[in-house]
Amino acid sequence: MTTVYLKSHKEESLKRFHPWVFSGAIARVVLDASHKASAPEEGELVCVRSSAGEVLGVGHWQVGSIAVRILAFGVEHLPDDFWNERIRAAYRMREALGLVRCNKDNDTYRLVHGEGDWLPGLIVDVYADMAVVQAHSVGMHVCRRAVAKAIVEEVPQVKGVYYKSDDTLPFKAPVEGEKTGWLRSGGVPNSDEFWSLENGLSFRIDWLRGQKTGFFIDQRENRALVERYANGKEVLNMFCYTGGFSLYALRGGAKSVDSVDVSQKAIDLVNVNVARNFPDATNHTAVTADAFDYLSAQRAKGTTYDLIILDPPAFAKHRDAVRNALRGYQRINAKAIEMIRPGGILFTFSCSQAVDKEAFRLAVFSAAAQVGRKVRILHQLHQPQDHPINIYHPEGEYLKGLVLYVE
């Protein structure tokens, strides 16, 4: 196996279980005999050693500033049952959380959350009896069949495994084989007829054409909180996607719910989901529109709401975009706060990993100050328990939200 030697003193973070080796920490790479090229192949397994030769771990080689993502610490090779052992551990954790098996109201959960489950570069979301696997590294792409095998062996409910990595693998990476398609078909119905259950609500999951793996599981707990506050309220769910927050608001007794998203496909699914869960509802309206246009047009008409949810896509996809992203968060939050009736509530989120909670809070503070409303923080929200943050890898924290009381 190829061996990567670190510069002296660069082993400290690995000894503290941080799973990334940056290219600047590498002193030299000794290729194994099979190599024709002068560098390791992207996605190949390499052994990482300190400058003194001590074994630190084994991981996937990557091209870029993160050169290796460690899969197993303190070993030279992956153990034979590595994939089964990791998937089993991830599943056991979700069982312990009460998300699976004993929970008849819920079969939607994240099984693997990358570094948070000691599997850097891998995401697995489970919907009823199928799993959607997403590779964010070439190494995980190379291992996709082993991952699928371990999932069907270790997760009793899962029969089908679909692979969906066309948008997540590094751009330009040399990838062999399909980036999307069934790894195990398992007789699962196609994505036009597929339903999954979250806290007793049914959602159509279109993993083929939908965003990410088909659904945003990370808002489950925050949706439940919206349900608690929704009774009797006129609600706007902005950036609604397939209507997650809208269904909870309807079940919570909202007087009316307006769901808005720029994607027509998403709005079609909101209507399908509302019809399935609340066939007699006459208090739900779905609108295909850009968020800024919609808020400006409604403001001009004098529309106000008791409760607004703002859950935009990541405004900053990487560090260079943070300043613009913060301006975007300020603008959209100012527009929403203006439209909240006195005594109303705003749920506002950011899923940009590059924008930390302090920066986000400052953007929301600036929005409140800009429109001159008195605002208090009721809750500080984050990603749920099936999206765990590895304490040695704080970069895994990405979702943050504030619930505000607006006077």
Per the residue annotation, which of 47, 143, 240, 351 is the catalytic one?
Answer: 351
273 binds ligand SAH (CB under 6 A): no
174 belongs to the binding site for ligand SAH (CB under 6 A)? no
Least Cβ distance, residue 313 to ligand SAH (angstroms): 4
182-to-50, 173, 346 alpha-carbon distances in Å = 40, 21, 40
Q: Is 353 a binder of ligand SAH (CB under 6 A)?
A: no
317 lies in the binding site for ligand SAH (CB under 6 A): no
- Could you tell me how many helices (H) and strands (E) the chain has, helices first? 10, 20
* Interface pattern 207-236 for ligand SAH (x via CB under 6 A): ----x----x--x-----------------
Task: Give me the helix-helix angle, 291-301 and 322-338, nearest 10°.
Answer: 30
Q: Among the candidate windows 133-141, 306-314, 316-324, 373-381, which touches ligand SAH by CB under 6 A? A: 306-314
- Identify which of residues 211 and 366 has a Cβ nearer to ligand SAH in the complex: 211
Task: Kindly give the residue spans of alpha helices, DSSP state H, lying in 24-167.
Answer: 82-96, 138-142, 144-154
Contact residues for 83 (Cβ-Cβ < 8 A; gap 6+): 143, 146, 147, 149, 150
Stretch that binds ligand SAH, among 138-146, 150-158, 259-267, 332-340 (CB under 6 A): 259-267
Using rule CB under 6 A, residue 146 touches ligand SAH: no
* Residue 200 binds ligand SAH, judged by CB under 6 A: no
Q: Is 274 in the site for ligand SAH (CB under 6 A)?
A: no
Q: Closer to ligand SAH at the Cβ: 263 or 385? A: 263
**261 part of the interface to ligand SAH, by CB under 6 A:** yes
Residue number with CB closer to ligand SAH (93 or 309):
309
User: Quick check: 244 binds ligand SAH (CB under 6 A)?
Assistant: yes
Q: Which of 20, 118, 207, 245 binds ligand SAH (CB under 6 A)?
A: 245
Least distance between ligand SAH and beta carbon 287 (Å) = 10
Q: Among residues 266, 269, 316, 375, which is the contact residue for ligand SAH, using CB under 6 A?
A: 266
Does position 346 bind ligand SAH by CB under 6 A? no
Residues 6 or more apart in contact with residue 21 via CB below 8 angstroms: 4, 6, 14, 48, 59, 66, 67, 68, 69, 70
Q: Is 290 in the site for ligand SAH (CB under 6 A)?
A: yes
CB burial of residue 117 (10 Å; 0-12, 13-18, 19+): buried
Residue 105, CA atoms < 13 Å, CB-side half-sphere: 5
Determine the 3-state secondary structure of 221 from DSSP.
helix
Cα 342 to Cα 364: distance, rounded to the nearest angstrom: 18
Distance CA 379, CA 32 (A): 53
Q: What phi and psi values does residue 146 have, to the nearest 5 degrees?
A: -65, -35
Of 182 and 278, nearer to ligand SAH (C-beta) is 278
First to last CA, the chain: 63
**Catalytic annotation on 143?**
no
Indicate which residues carry an active-site annotation. 351
Question: Which chain residues interact with ligand SAH by CB under 6 A?
Answer: 211, 216, 219, 239-242, 244-245, 261-263, 266, 290-291, 311-313
